[in-house]
Amino acid sequence: MTHRTRNLFPVLAFLAATFLFAPLGTEAQTSSAQSSTSARGERWLHVRVISTNSKGEAVRVNVPLELAEKVLPAIDHDRLHNGKVRVGCMDCDGVDVRTIFEAVRSSKDGEFVTVQSNDADISVMKKEGMLFVHVHDKNKPKHSQVEVKVPMKVVEALLSGSKDELDIVAGLHALAGQGDVELVSVKDDENTIRVWLDSKNVTTD
Amino acid sequence: MVLLAKIALGFGATVVLAGAYTFREGLIRVDVDETRGQGHHVHVWAPAAIVPMAMHFVPRAQMLRAGEQSAKFMPLVHAVAKELQKYPEAELVEVHDGSQYVRVRTHNGNLLIDAEEPGQTVHVSCPLATIDDVSRELAAFAPAS
């Protein structure tokens, strides 16, 4: 071995170490330049609960829909099996939920239920492929508002399982095909709750 | 003298390469700091690369027992770890409850859990790939259902 080649050993060792360390450096740079909008068109389900009490409680949950779709079938607990949840009242007090939904689905857009009382105003309507439920509770000191907006395709997918079952995975799959949408909004004197869908992997309040 | 230099160089290069490989695989970190009572402090830093390797040296009887005990939830852990690897940078859960705080996120392919309450803080960091490997190993020892 010549003197020159012998001198190359430390250089080669250093280069090899640098090569192995390189991915760490790249990851760090990538993470610092990361955008809040996911690059692969991922869909994220966000849940935010903000309490207005003095303790300032807050819960923020961000779940990739694809992850939920893959993980749910792995859960086998209580009423949840294979991504489907068993519900005991799909035929509540003689009211067949499936038949009602089928009737709503095949009917034209419109307001199906309107209840106005001293306690609460309730309305259920269908508009442009969305099912809207609005509840205005007048009993609380600061009137509470509940808005639920569910794409009809999602409801259809949820009910696509066998009788007395909600197919959660199918519902999530249908939800993934929707655009950005606020699904649930609850505002009362104690809490503000929001459930929404978008392409961002962080909660932007 | 030249021979000694060669041996030292070879040893040094091996250490550098082994170190580089180990740290490339990531670290498992567990930091527990208690400021109340006796104020226990636990800090464990271990190269993630050794965990799957070390599992091969665990007696088979112990692995069977661990596999049996974890059989119920290990498929879930495996599914979560496998899927979370697709999201190396994500804020998953954040809970503020007065003086208590919990945060679960992924960063650089690691799962990070931070929990704080008055008098105690816990920080855990573990590469998702390691969780995936360990859950897969344990699942292999689970009794067939």
Domain holding B119, by residue range, is 26-140
Q: What is the pLDDT of residues B34-59, one digit of tens each?
A: 987 788 899 999 888 888 888 889 99
Q: Do A135 and A178 reside in the same domain of the chain? A: yes
The yes-or-no verdict on residue A30 having pLDDT over 60 is no
Q: Do A14 and A46 reside in the same domain of the chain? A: no
Instruction: Write the CA distances from B45 to B30, B32, B49, B89, B134, integer angstroms.
Output: 7, 12, 12, 22, 17
Domain holding A20, by residue range, is 1-34
Of the CA atoms within 13 Å of residue A109, those in its CB half-sphere come to 6
Query: Is the model more confident about A5 or about A144?
Result: A144
Residues of B with CB under 8 A from a CB of A: 9, 12-13, 16-17, 19-21, 23-24, 75-76, 78-80, 82-84, 86-98, 107-109
For residue B98, the domain's CATH number is 3.30.160
Q: Do A62 and A123 reside in the same domain of the chain? A: yes
Q: What is the pLDDT of residues B109-143, one digit of tens each?
A: 999 999 999 989 999 999 999 999 899 888 888 88
Provide the shortest C-alpha distance from residue A110 to chain B (in Å): 38
Q: Do A1 and A81 reside in the same domain of the chain? A: no
Q: Do A109 and A57 reside in the same domain of the chain? A: yes
Residue B119: inside a domain, yes or no?
yes
Interface contact A23, partner B, CB < 8 A: yes
Q: Do A183 and A165 reside in the same domain of the chain? A: yes
Task: Report how far Cα A66 is from the mean position of its chain's Cα atoms.
Answer: 10
Using an 8 Å CB-CB cutoff, list chain A residues near B9.
9-10, 13
Instruction: Write the CA distances from B50 to A47, A127, B16, B21, B30, integer angstroms.
Output: 37, 58, 16, 11, 16
- Given phi > 0 = left and psi -120 to 50 = alpha, else beta, which region is A57? beta
Residue A26 pLDDT level (bands cut at 50, 70, 90): very low
Residue B19: inside a domain, yes or no?
no
Question: Residue B96 and residue A66: Cβ atoms within 8 Å?
Answer: no
Q: Do A42 and A67 reside in the same domain of the chain? A: yes
Question: Residue A203 and residue B91: Cβ atoms within 8 Å?
Answer: yes
Question: Residue B24 and residue A24: Cβ atoms within 8 Å?
Answer: yes
Q: Do A14 and A73 reside in the same domain of the chain? A: no
Residue B41: which H helix or E strand, with range? strand B41-47
Of A9, A58, A66, the CB nearest to B96: A58
Residue B15: inside a domain, yes or no?
no
Residue A32 pLDDT level (bands cut at 50, 70, 90): very low
Q: Do A20 and A86 reside in the same domain of the chain? A: no
The mean per-residue pLDDT over the stretch A179-185 comes to 91
Beta strands in chain A (DSSP E): 44-51, 58-64, 76-77, 80-81, 84-86, 91-92, 95-96, 110-116, 120-127, 130-137, 144-151, 165-167, 181-187, 191-198
Residue B87: inside a domain, yes or no?
yes
Query: Is the model more confident about A37 or about A72?
Result: A72
Residue B126: inside a domain, yes or no?
yes
Using an 8 Å CB-CB cutoff, list chain A residues near B96.
56-59
The yes-or-no verdict on residue A20 having pLDDT over 70 is no
Q: Do A80 and A179 reside in the same domain of the chain? A: yes
- Structural domains counted in chain B: 1
Q: Do A41 and A104 reside in the same domain of the chain? A: yes
Residue B46: inside a domain, yes or no?
yes
**Closest listed residue to residue B124, CA positions, set B99, B104, B101:** B104
pTM: 0.76
Interface contact A58, partner B, CB < 8 A: yes
CA distance B106 to B92: 8
Q: What is the pLDDT of residues A102-115, one digit of tens each?
A: 888 888 898 888 99
Residues A201 and A62 sit within 8 Å (Cβ to Cβ): yes
Query: What is the DSSP-derived secondary structure letter of residue A92?
Result: E
Using an 8 Å CB-CB cutoff, list chain B residues near A67.
80, 83-84, 86-87
- Structural domains counted in chain A: 2
Q: Do A131 and A63 reside in the same domain of the chain? A: yes
pLDDT at A23: 43
